[in-house]
Amino acid sequence: MKAERLALSKVKKAELFDFMKGTRNKEEYRRASAIKQKLEGSPYRTIARNLDVNYRNVYNWIKEYKEYGLDGIRSKRKNAGRIPKISSDKNKKMIKEIISKSPTTFGYLKNTWSIRLLATYLTTILGINVSPMQTWRIVHDLGIVSRRPKLALEHAEDYEKKKKIVDNYKKISAALLKKNPPGI
């Protein structure tokens, strides 16, 4: 007995091939591949063997495709993959608001945000571990450019006084990363 062939118009074939090229979902690609093999005239069991699935799955995929088109083979799972927590739109908006304010408003002794300081603050607010690298990615996605601050003194009348302040700051800068450092 010869396997029946799936008949599709040129437009439907082109849609199927574009769908296969565009999808990043492994399940959807597998289903589209089954339909492509059925177009070539392969029997259900052969397709199932090629894709390493049960032949009833292949039968159901093709039935769904005949009935609903590409919507029939799209994944119905909304919970596929891990839900991003820190990089959600709500959190990005919150991070943008935080960056627009000075760290001193949040109890830090710094005047500007560093990536590490922002990551530390986000960790305390959100209650999840936020790495500096992830914080940098989010800040970069928001279009905010971060630069490392450089301490420089202009030669003026009070140069020595300012130099002492800067030297003192360099000595205690590690303690300034802490929110409420003891003894300062």
pLDDT digits (tens, 9 = 90+) for 88-125: 788 888 889 999 999 989 888 888 888 999 999 998 88
Residue 35 to residues 3, 18, 20, 85, 147: CA-CA distances in angstroms?
Answer: 13, 13, 11, 36, 52
- Judged against a pLDDT cut of 60, whether residue 6 lies above it is answered with yes
Q: Which residue has the higher pLDDT, 170 or 18?
A: 18
- Judged against a pLDDT cut of 60, whether residue 154 lies above it is answered with yes
- Judged against a pLDDT cut of 70, whether residue 138 lies above it is answered with yes
3-state helix, strand, coil in the chain (%, to 5): 60, 0, 40
Contact 52, 13 (CB under 8 A): no
pLDDT of residue 63: 92
pLDDT of residue 83: 60
- Judged against a pLDDT cut of 70, whether residue 178 lies above it is answered with no
Contact 176, 112 (CB under 8 A): no
- Token pair, residue 3, equals 């396997």
Which of 104-108, 135-139, 157-161, 178-182 is the least confident region? 178-182
Query: How is 91-150 classified by DSSP, letter by letter?
Result: HHHHHHHHHHS-GGGGT-S-SS--HHHHHHHHHHHHSS---HHHHHHHHHHTT-------
pLDDT of residue 164: 85
CA distance 177 to 165: 18
Backbone φ, ψ for residue 154 (5° rounding): -90, 145
Contact 167, 94 (CB under 8 A): no
pLDDT digits (tens, 9 = 90+) for 16-43: 899 989 888 888 999 999 999 998 889 9
pLDDT of residue 182: 56
What's the rounded mean pLDDT across residues 122-134?
88
Residues ≥6 apart with Cβ < 8 Å to 126: 85, 86, 91
pLDDT digits (tens, 9 = 90+) for 40-84: 889 999 999 999 999 899 999 999 998 998 888 888 776 656 666
- Token pair, residue 90, equals 């709500």
